[in-house]
Amino acid sequence: MRVDMLHRKARLAVEFDGARFHGDDSQRRRDLERDALLAGAGFTTMRFTWEDIAQRPQWCVTRVLEALRARGVTP
């Protein structure tokens, strides 16, 4: 499986969800299945929308850094 960003040590996957590839029900179900598979392997998935990335990128960076710190990883 391929994810947009992966931090192995923190066991954190980050996905960027744009409407083009994540806009219909079947695609959302596929994303949920991937999240379940990642969780089963011990990974947490963080998802950000295109609007998050485009309109508030610093908020996204802050959330990822917080998640890394919560897992004892120094960014």
**What number is the average pLDDT over the span 44-65?**
96
Residue 49: which residues within 8 A CB-CB, separation 6 or more? 17, 18
Supply the Cα-derived Rg of the chain in whole angstroms: 13
pLDDT in the model for residue 19: 60
Report residue 20's pLDDT band, with 50, 70 and 90 as the boundaries.
low
pTM of the model: 0.83
Report residue 26's pLDDT band, with 50, 70 and 90 as the boundaries.
confident
d(CA 7, CA 70): 13
3-state secondary structure of 48: strand
- What is the rounded average pLDDT for all residues in the chain? 90
